[in-house]
A and B are shown apart, each in its own frame.
Chain A
Amino acid sequence: LAKTTQPISMDSYEGQEVNITCSHNNIATNDYITWYQQFPSQGPRFIIQGYKTKVTNEVASLFIPADRKSSTLSLPRVSLSDTAVYYCLVGDFMNTGFQKLVFGTGTRLLVSP
C-alpha cells in the first residue's frame, strides 16, 4: 500500500477555493487515488477517485500530475458545511484480489464565516 502524507489541518473562509494536497511518493502503476470526506459522528463519504490528469464531479476536482506522486483535491467556493476531515487513500482497488482502505490521519478542514 502506498503511504500517503497530508497536512493535518487547514483553515479557510466561506467562498474560497480550498486545495488539499496529498503526497504518495511510492504509488504503484495500478494504484488509484481516492478521497473521502467525513463529518463528525458520521461515516466517511466517497468524494472522488482518479488515476491520472484531472477528474471533476459535482462536488470536487482531483488534479494528478504526470508522475502521480501527489494529488490535489480542490473544493470550489467552500461553505461552512464543508468543515470535515478529508482522507486521501491510494491502492490497487480494481484488481480481483482484496485491497483494503487504509485511512491515514486525514486533513481537518475548518471553514469559517
Chain B
Amino acid sequence: DAMVIQNPRYQVTQFGKPVTLSCSQTLNHNVMYWYQQKSSQAPKLLFHYYDKDFNNEADTPDNFQSRRPNTSFCFLDIRSPGLGDAAMYLCATSREDSKNIQYFGAGTRLSVL
C-alpha cells in the first residue's frame, strides 16, 4: 500500500538524451514536490506544485521542467541531462496545512552515461 510511487527506481540515460521521471500518489494531497539528492548530500528542493500552480526554486536550472496533469501524477523532465545531473530524484507530497509533514517516494536513481 505504497502512498507515493516513483517509477522507475533506476534510470540510465545518455548525455543529452531527454528523460522523464514519474511520480504518483494515492494520498490526494494537493502539494507535490520534486527534490534532487546527490551522493552524501541532503535533499534539495527543485520545485513544487500547489494544486496546478507551479513554483520553481530560484536556483533550479532551466534544464529541469515539471508537469502535473492531475492531482495524482507529477512528472520531472530533464531536457538535456548532463553528467552533473546524476542523482537520486525524490518526489514528495503534503497537505497544504501541514507542509512540514511530507510523504516521500522511494526515489529514482538517475545515471547519466
Q: Verify that A and B bind, or say they do not.
A: yes
Question: Residue A87 at the B interface, CB < 8 A?
Answer: yes
Q: How many residues of A contact B (CB 8 A)?
A: 24
Besides A42-B106, A98-B48, A101-B99, 20 more A-B contacts (Cβ < 8 Å) are A32-B100, A43-B4, A43-B91, A43-B92, A43-B105, A44-B43, A44-B102, A46-B100, A46-B101, A46-B102, A49-B101, A91-B100, A93-B100, A96-B96, A98-B99, A101-B43, A103-B43, A103-B44, A105-B42, A106-B42
**Closest chain A residue, CB of each to CB of B4:** A43
Contacts of B90 in A (CB 8 A): 43-44
Known: A43-B105, A100-B48. A93 touches B98 (CB 8 A): yes
Question: Residue B86 at the A interface, CB < 8 A?
Answer: no
Question: Residue B103 at the A interface, CB < 8 A?
Answer: yes
**Closest chain A residue, CB of each to CB of B107:** A43
Q: Interface of B with A (CB < 8 Å)?
A: 4, 42-45, 48, 50, 55, 57, 88, 90-92, 96-107, 109
**Closest chain B residue, CB of each to CB of A104:** B42
Name the residue among B57, B92, B102 with the largest chain A CB count within 10 angstroms: B102
